[in-house]
Amino acid sequence: MSEIIMPKMGDAMTEGKVIRWYKKPGDAVKKGEPVLEIETDKVNLDLEAEADGTLGQLSVNEGEMAPVGGVLALLLGAGETEKPKEKPAADENSRRATDKKDSIKHSTGEYGEAIEMKGPRIDRASAATSAGTPTAAAPGGDGGRRRSSPLARKMARDLGVSLDQVQGSGPSGRIVASDIKGAQGRPAAPSAQTAKPAAQKQLEAKKIRHSAMRRTIAKRLAESTGPIPHFYLTVDYDVTNLLIIRQQLIDISGTKVSVNDFIVRATALALLQHPNINASWGDDAISQHGEVHIGIAVATPEGLITPVVRNADGKSVVDIAAEVRLLADKAKNRKLMPNEYQDSTFTISNLGAWGVEEFTAIINPPNAAILAIGAATRQPVVIDGQIVIRDRMKVTMSCDHRVIDGATGAEFLKSLRQYVEQPLRLMI
């Protein structure tokens, strides 16, 4: 009996991830045959059997991490059986005395697995994967990494293409650069489909477990620039239409509505389409939030606080305006309750009222991003070859690079532009 352990693939490696088991418990394996694929922070590689034998129970399931030196599975020699864990001899005897019905009754859980090990190996192979590895990832899920060339993986990262959506054309289905190029041309990416205005994408709360690479990126970036590695994206939106609509809304509703109230709703709607922005970095996973709660930075004599407009995507501009007014008053009087300033998923800071045209804001943890809204100013711009005067507003998003990559952030700002520049969308 020998152990298959997580190898140390580099000085810095402390743990590795099991990507995929090629063999199931009970399968015969030959020396030199790949048994599983692991992922380190740099490479994916196959671990080969060091001797002929039969694969025993798996200690680490697909998608799970294991420390360097940690046992991944046992490799049983001819005639060897796996010792059931912590199983007194009496149990062994009584189990043998049970009839078939009893053993079916116990066919799940650790006890059941021990019985399974006694059965004929051929039949058990398929059963073992369903019963024995309950947390095994479904194909295409977290553990469903596919064979791919390094260049293809790099291109997929850069272009935001998921390898799961790509059919590999290389040997053994290896995804190569040309496959990524092909996939990029296809309009099949789900995020692109939902880019239609006001498409009500169903959000769901979920965790995307850190891959080894995401971990490394996070660690490196954080080491270089502090706890949150910031980067900044600045865009210039045309708010001429928004200002017109705002005036009309004030005239009709009699409510004081600020530009920022429009921005809050526009941001909330854009976030619906970009769950990867409405997210937080955690030790083990990036959490995408199931709801959109917009924090509004409010200056008070004591300092900054960010009251939260909960579920802002479900509220009208007028509703938001009223709520923000109330929250801001409470903030200034230090009357905010914890539930009124906690749990934001995204934050907006607006210094336009102070005449600041452009600035960068510091991310409000655990948010992954913050918008810094500048003042709308009248600018000469060229439209259809004519110089015309338009109202322009600079918006800078600070992003947590552990969660958001440049292109991801830019996509969000593109979606936001539709709402800001075509504000009727906010009224739908």
CB 152 within 8 A of CB 141: no
Cβ within 8 Å of residue 167, ≥6 positions away: 173, 175, 179
Q: How many residues bind another protein (CB under 8 A)?
A: 14
Continuous H helices in 167-316: 177-185, 190-193, 212-225, 240-253, 259-273
Residue 151 makes contact with another protein by CB under 8 A: yes
Catalytic choice (274, 289, 293, 401): 401
Residue 45 makes contact with another protein by CB under 8 A: no
Cβ within 8 Å of residue 339, ≥6 positions away: none
Residue 176 makes contact with another protein by CB under 8 A: yes
Residue 161 makes contact with another protein by CB under 8 A: no
Residue 145 makes contact with another protein by CB under 8 A: no
For another protein, the closer of residues 178 and 193 by Cβ is: 178
User: 293 an active-site residue?
Assistant: no
For the bound state, the minimum distance from the C-beta of residue 40 to another protein, rounded and expressed in Å, comes to 12
Residue 34 makes contact with another protein by CB under 8 A: no
| Cα distances (Å, whole numbers) of residue 67 to 36, 38, 40, 97 | 16, 12, 11, 40
For the bound state, the minimum distance from the C-beta of residue 266 to another protein, rounded and expressed in Å, comes to 37
Residue 103, both tokens: 């053993």
For another protein, the closer of residues 152 and 259 by Cβ is: 152
Residue 43 makes contact with another protein by CB under 8 A: yes
Residue 167 makes contact with another protein by CB under 8 A: no
For the bound state, the minimum distance from the C-beta of residue 59 to another protein, rounded and expressed in Å, comes to 30
| Out of 170, 255, 316, 381, the residue judged to bind another protein by CB under 8 A | 170
Residue 177 makes contact with another protein by CB under 8 A: yes
Beta bridge mates, 308: 295
| Ramachandran category for residue 60: left, alpha or beta (phi over 0 → left; psi -120 to 50 → alpha) | beta
For another protein, the closer of residues 174 and 425 by Cβ is: 174
For another protein, the closer of residues 10 and 67 by Cβ is: 10
Residue 210, both tokens: 């850190």
- Residue 101 CA to residue 117 CA, distance in Å, equals 17
For another protein, the closer of residues 217 and 320 by Cβ is: 217
- How many Cβ atoms from other residues are within 10 Å of residue 58's Cβ? 24
CB 72 within 8 A of CB 60: yes
Continuous H helices in 333-398: 338-341
Give catalytic residue positions: 401
Residue ranges in contact with another protein by CB under 8 A:
42-43, 149-154, 169-171, 176-178
